[in-house]
A and B are shown apart, each in its own frame.
Chain A
Amino acid sequence: SQTIHQWPATLVQPVGSPLSLECTVEGTSNPNLYWYRQAAGRGLQLLFYSVGIGQISSEVPQNLSASRPQDRQFILSSKKLLLSDSGFYLCAWIGPASGRPWFGDTQYFGPGTRLTVL
């Protein structure tokens, strides 16, 4: 079965420090991958998506960047964190619902990384 991993689970970083969050997917190949951010009191916002290795689309201008060095690896980065980068970062991929074929292909989310910038 397919699984999606994110690490670290929590992270506290000072303003101006760099960031690297990693997402990996197992049990599938060539997935579409997504990074979302959930800021305090707000809904989830799509940051980046990728349809293949080296292919990144940015949805909103921001202080972050994304890369996809391998088929099942998606990385979110920043050279210098801002206070406004704090939030809950979720990686997602599109695939069939395990055990629920009536759902069809849809987005499935990882456990998330909670980032606090101080």
Chain B
Amino acid sequence: AQSVTQLGSHVSVSEGALVLLRCNYSSSVPPYLFWYVQYPNQGLQLLLKYTTGATLVKGINGFEAEFKKSETSFHLTKPSAHMSDAAEYFCAVSEGQPGNEKLTFGTGTRLTIIP
């Protein structure tokens, strides 16, 4: 079974500072990896995903993540935090075939931006 661990349920950064949200996964097969963002009382929005190929993945809103197989990590970063980045972020790994992905999610990291 696949699993995801997100280190730090709450992260606070100052506006303009680097954002780093950590995600480690376990998988017996090459994983598909995802980051989703959830704004208050809304559903999840896909930020980025890794399937194959380039290990540095760029997503929306200036976020990117790097797949490191040796470390089984897929950390999410953004060079400069903006107030609008305050939300909850979920890392996920997929099971199943492409087109019928069954996602296993981490417990989430709530990001707070300090003015």
The verdict on A32 contacting chain B, using a C-beta distance below 8 Å, is yes
> A103 to B43, Cβ gap below 8 A?
no
Using a CB-CB cutoff of 8 Å, which residues 3-24 of chain B contact chain A? 4, 6
Which A residues are CB-close (under 8 A) to B107?
41-43
> B100 to A90, Cβ gap below 8 A?
no
> A109 to B43, Cβ gap below 8 A?
yes
Interface size for chain B: under 10, 10 to 19, 20 to 34, or 35 or more residues?
20 to 34
> A32 to B60, Cβ gap below 8 A?
no
Q: How far is the CA of A6 from the CA of B43 in the complex (A)?
A: 10
CB distance from B114 to the nearest CB of A (A): 23
> B49 to A114, Cβ gap below 8 A?
no
Q: A43-B108, A100-B60, A114-B41 are known contacts. Are A108 and B100 too (CB-CB below 8 A)? A: no
Cβ contacts B85-106/A at 8 Å (1 or 0 each): 0000010100000111111111
Interface size for chain A: under 10, 10 to 19, 20 to 34, or 35 or more residues?
20 to 34
Q: How far is the CA of A110 from the CA of B38 in the complex (A)?
A: 11
> A106 to B100, Cβ gap below 8 A?
no
Q: A44-B105, A100-B60 are known contacts. Are A105 and B98 too (CB-CB below 8 A)? A: yes
Least CB separation from A108: chain B residue = B46
Q: A103-B46, A109-B45, A114-B41 are known contacts. Are A44 and B90 too (CB-CB below 8 A)? A: yes
Q: A94: which of B48, B51, B100 is its contact (CB, 8 Å)?
A: B100
Q: How far is the CA of A13 from the CA of B100 in the complex (A)?
A: 32
Which A residues are CB-close (under 8 A) to B92?
44
The verdict on B74 contacting chain A, using a C-beta distance below 8 Å, is no
The verdict on A104 contacting chain B, using a C-beta distance below 8 Å, is yes
The verdict on A59 contacting chain B, using a C-beta distance below 8 Å, is yes
> B43 to A106, Cβ gap below 8 A?
no
Instruction: Give the A-binding residues of B (Cβ under 8 A).
Output: 4, 6, 34, 36, 41-46, 48-49, 51, 60, 90, 92, 98-108
A sample of 10 more A-B contacts (CB under 8 A), given A105-B98, A110-B43, is A32-B100, A43-B107, A43-B108, A44-B44, A46-B102, A90-B43, A94-B100, A104-B49, A106-B46, A114-B41
* Interface CB pairs A-B, < 8 A, 11: A32-B99, A43-B105, A43-B106, A43-B107, A46-B104, A49-B100, A94-B101, A104-B51, A105-B99, A107-B46, A109-B36
